[in-house]
Amino acid sequence: MALFRRTPPWCLTSNCWVCGKIAIMQQTPLITQHRSAGGKLVDFAGWEMPIQYSGVVDEYHTVRSKAGLFDVSHMGRLLASGPGAAAFLQRMTTNDVGKLAVGQAHYSMVCNEQGGIKDDIFVYRLKPDEYLLCVNASNREKILAWLRDHQQDKTMAFEDHSAALAQIAIQGPLSRDILVALGGNAVTSLKLHHTCETTLGSIHTLVARTGYTGELGFELYVDADRIGALWDRLMEQGHTSGLKPAGLGARDLLRLDMGYLLYGNDIGEDTTPLEAGVDWTVNFQKGEFVGRPRLQAQKDGQLDRRFVGFELLEKAVPRHGFKIHSPQAPSDPIGEITSGNLSPLLQKGIGLGYVPLRYAEPGTPITIDIRGKAVPGQIVKTPFYRKPKTKSV
C-alpha cells in the first residue's frame, strides 16, 4: 500500500495556518471502496475518511439492529516482540500485561510522568513474546516516539506495522453470522477481548472480538494489500443480512451511547485514568510504571474531579464545549461538556464531562447552558444504552 507523503502533525487541514503549506491527506487502502459506495469524505486527523454513506442516523440504527462495516485502517498498529516485550509494556502501560494469555487483549493507557493520558490503547498478546498495540490515529507518531525513547532492553524489537497491516470493524448483532458465512467458524466461540486466526473468504485474517459500539462485533486485521478484497466479500456476503458501510459519524454516536472515551475530547495529557473513571485500567499491584506516583496519590485521596455522564430532562442537543452548571450556583460553571449529542435510539440529549467530586453522584441535578438557556439535566451512570440481554458467549 502506498500512502501519501507524511505531513507535519499540525498540517491537518487543506491550508495549514502554521506552515502555510497545502497538506495532503493520507488515505487508507479502502479509499476506492469509500468513493464507490458514495461515502462523504472528510479530513480526520490528517486522513481522508468517510463521515457517512447512507446517512449518520441510518448507519447508527443499522449497527444497532443488523451490522455495519467500518474502515479503521487509519489507526496505528505497533508490534512489540522479543523476550523483553512483556516487561517493557508493563513499565509503559497502566494495565497488567502479565495477566494476558496468548490470544487475549485488554484496554490500557499510556501515561506521561504526571499520570496524564498520552493515549488509550488496546494491547493484544498474539504469541508468548509478541504483542500488538492498537493506538489512535492522531497519536501514532507521538506514541511511537515515546515508546522508542524509553526502549532500553535490546532483547525486544519495536516496529510500526500501520502501513503493512490494515484494519476494519464489523459491528452489530448479525456480525458473527456474516463472518461464519464467509468461513470464519472459529469466531463462533470467540469470547470478548479474545483473538483467533481464521480464513474469511480465502483471506487469512486475525479476528479480535473488540469494538467501539457496544454491540457484538469484531475487528479484523489483514495484510493491507488484501483488505479491499475482504471488504468487498464482506459486503457481498452481508448484503442479504442488511450489512452497510458505516462512517465516523455513526461511530461517534454509537460510542457516546456507551460512554466510551474519545481521545482529544474526553481525555488527553491533562487528564488521568482515575479522573476519567477508568480506574480498572490501572493496576497498582504489578509494580512500577510510568505515571504511577501521581496516580497513586489520586487513589489515596488527591482526586478532585471525576468524569461523568449526564442526560437532559428536556429535549435539546448538548454539544462539546457547552458549560455545565449547578442549579444552586447558576452563574459559575462547574465544568464543560467534552462529548454530547442527541441519542437517536434513546431520543434524549446525553453527554460527558468533568465535574468536581461533590457533583459526580448519579441523580445530582445540573443544568446545561445551551445558547443562553439553562436546560435541566442530571448526572447518570453510564452506559446510557444497555442492549437487550442475549445468550452470546
Domain ranges of the chain: 31-74+164-258, 76-149, 304-380
CATH of 31-74+164-258, one of 3.20.20.150, 3.30.1360.120, 1.10.1050.10, 3.40.50.1820: 3.30.1360.120
At residue 3, the pLDDT reads: 26
Q: Which amino acid is at 67?
A: A
Q: Which amino acid is at 322?
A: F
Span 99-148, pLDDT tens digits: 999 999 999 999 999 999 999 999 999 999 999 999 999 999 999 999 99
Q: What mean pLDDT is predicted for residues 271-289?
A: 98
CA–CA distances in Å: residue 137 to residues 36, 192, 221, 236, 339: 24, 23, 16, 28, 19
pLDDT at 14 over 90: no
pLDDT at 327 over 90: yes
Q: Which amino acid is at 180?
A: V
| Domain 31-74+164-258 matches domain 76-149 at the CATH topology level | no
CATH of 76-149, one of 3.40.47.10, 3.40.190.10, 3.30.70.1290, 3.30.70.1400: 3.30.70.1400
Name the band, by pLDDT with cuts 50, 70 and 90, for residue 5. Answer: very low
380 is written with which cell numbers? 447518570
CA–CA distances in Å: residue 283 to residues 223, 288, 290, 294: 33, 10, 12, 13
The DSSP letter of residue 381 is P
Torsional sign, CA 172, 257, 140, 143: negative
Q: Which of 239, 252, 248, 201 is nearest to 222 (CA)?
A: 201
Name the band, by pLDDT with cuts 50, 70 and 90, for residue 24. Answer: confident
Torsional sign, CA 212, 390, 350, 111: negative
Superfamily of domain 304-380: Aminomethyltransferase beta-barrel domains (2.40.30.110)
Beta strand ranges found along 165-236 (DSSP E): 165-171, 195-200, 203-208, 217-223
pLDDT at 13 over 60: no
Query: Does residue 384 contact residue 259 with C-beta atoms inside 8 Å?
Result: yes
Q: Which amino acid is at 249?
A: G
* Parallel, antiparallel or unpaired: strands 68-71 and 244-245: parallel
Name the band, by pLDDT with cuts 50, 70 and 90, for residue 390. Answer: low
How many CB atoms neighbour CB 280 within 10 A? Answer: 11
47's CB contacts (< 8 A; 6+ apart) are 25, 26, 27, 28, 74, 137
